[in-house]
């Protein structure tokens, strides 16, 4: 595997993990909306918290806030394909989401959730580092041309040298 492939794989992996977190966050928001006590760990906390915070009195506001935050993550995922700045924005959102965990009761699950947040932060930073290294590599067509010019001279060029030119 080439270094380019490995770096692209790490960046794509970070984006895929962000999409996974988004999907579970959406599922948790729906579960919170229907009043379920069941949740997934590997998700953001803010969408669930906003639904529960506003409660029955202002449920529409809570749902709107939750959807807005989920759309922000979706936007970060979609636009990060071409611009790593959007993955940086997602990283900031995840970092801001971590303290929201403490707005509920502190338990073992709180620390499991914090561990998840730490894990996704490490994954996103790794992907961003890979993208930065990838951006420093020359394009593939330049690499291919350099390899050909160094070691793979056409046979005609070698045959064109006459014995008089060698001496």
Altogether, the residues listed in the chain come to a count of 167
Which pLDDT score is estimated for 158? 46
Cβ(54)–Cβ(101) under 8 Å? no
Distance CA 98, CA 46 (A): 9
Question: 5-19, 23-37, 74-88: which has the minimum mean pLDDT?
Answer: 23-37
Mean pLDDT of 151-156: 51
Number of domains in the chain: 1
User: Does the pLDDT value for residue 129 go beyond 90?
Assistant: yes
Domain range for 132 is: 3-166
- Please say whether the dihedral angle defined by the alpha carbons of residues 104, 105, 110 and 111, taken in this order, is positive or negative: positive
Average pLDDT, the chain: 85
């Amino acid at each position: 595997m080439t270094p380019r492939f490995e770096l692209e794989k790490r960046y794509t992996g970070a984006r895929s993990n962000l999409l996974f977190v988004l999907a579970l966050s959406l599922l948790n928001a729906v579960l919170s909306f229907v009043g379920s006590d069941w949740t997934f760990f590997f998700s953001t906390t803010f969408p669930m918290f906003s639904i529960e915070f506003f409660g029955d009195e202002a449920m529409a506001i809570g749902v709107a806030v939750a959807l807005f935050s989920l759309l922000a993550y979706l936007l970060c995922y979609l636009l990060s394909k071409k611009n790593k700045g959007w993955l940086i924005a997602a990283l900031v959102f995840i970092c801001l989401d971590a303290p929201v965990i403490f707005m509920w009761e502190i338990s073992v699950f709180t620390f499991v959730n914090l561990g998840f947040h730490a894990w996704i932060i490490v994954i996103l930073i790794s992907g961003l580092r890979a993208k930065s290294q990838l951006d420093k590599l020359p394009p593939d067509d330049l690499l291919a041309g350099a390899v050909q010019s160094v070691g793979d001279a056409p046979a005609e060029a070698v045959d064109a040298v006459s014995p008089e030119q060698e001496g």
